[in-house]
Amino acid sequence: MSLLKRCAAEFLGTLWLVFGGCGSAVLAAAYTADTAKIGENTTFPLGIGLVGVSLAFGLTVLTMAYAVGGISGGHFNPAVSFGLFAAKRFRGGQNLLAYIVAQVLGGIVGAGVLYLIASGKPGFALTGSNPLATNGFDAHSPGGYGLVACFLAEAFLTFFFLLIILGVTDRRVASGFAPVAIGFALTLIHLISIPVTNTSVNPARSLAPAVFVGGELLAQVWLFWVAPILGAVLAGWVYSSLFEDAHTSDEPERIEEMV
C-alpha cells in the first residue's frame, strides 16, 4: 500500500477520533432538554456523562481500526506511531514523519468541524477550563490536578495503552479482535483519567482543539506531547526487549496489522 494511501487512512482515522471523542464531550456530555413544551418549567439531563464520553473515544478507535486499520495499521495517534517504531513494528524516517503530519492535520480538521457545529448554538463560547474538550493541568485539569500528577498519568496510561496494542497485534495472538481490545483499553483509560487531564494519551487529539482555543491551553499542549510519547517509547522498548521473538523483532519492513 502506498504511503499516500496509508496517510489518508491515518488522516481520516484521527479526524474521526477527535470529532467523535471531543464531540461527545462538547455536544452530548451534559446536554439538557427543556420540558416547558409539555407544561413543566424544569430541565432534565439527557447527557451521556463521563462514561458516555469514555465509550465514545473507545468506539472511534474501534470503528476506524476495522474500517482502515488494514490500510495503515490504524495508529491515529503520534504516540502510537512512536511506540511501534520503538518496538520495531514500524519503519521510521519518512513513514513516521508522514504519519504524524497526517494525524495532526486530521485532528485539526476534526476539531474544526466540531467547532463549526458547536458554534451554531446561540451563546456558545470558547470559555471555561476545558473548552472544546481541551486537555490541561493545574487550573485546566477537571479535578484540579497539578503538572506532575498529570504528566505521570499521561505517561503511565500511554505506556499501558501501547503494551496492550503491541500485545493484541502480536503475530502469536489470534487476529481479528485487536480493535475491540484497543477500543476498550482507550475507554478504560478515559474512565480513569478524565478527571485528571480530560484524557489525552494522544498528542494529535490534544493539539487539535487547543489550536482553536489558543492561549494558556495551547501553551500547555507540550505536556500532552512529551508524556504520551515518553510512555509509548518506553512501552515499545519494554515489549520488544521482553516479549518479542528474535525472529520477529528485527523485521524492518513489518507494519503491524490490527485486523
Report residues of the chain scoring pLDDT below 50.
Answer: 36, 38-39, 248-257, 259
Give dist(CA 179, CA 168) in Å, integer: 9
**Domain formed by 3-249, architecture:** Up-down Bundle (1.20)
**Residue 127: per-residue pLDDT:** 86
Residue type, 229: I
Query: From residue 229, how far is each of 48, 64, 106, 233 by CA, in Å?
Result: 30, 22, 19, 6
**Residue 33: per-residue pLDDT:** 64
Show the CA angle centred on residue 23, arms to residues 13 and 79, nearest 5°: 40
Domain ranges of the chain: 3-249
- The whole-model pTM stands at 0.90
Give dist(CA 15, CA 10) in Å, integer: 8
**Residue 47: per-residue pLDDT:** 84
Q: How many CB atoms lie within 10 A of CB 186?
A: 28
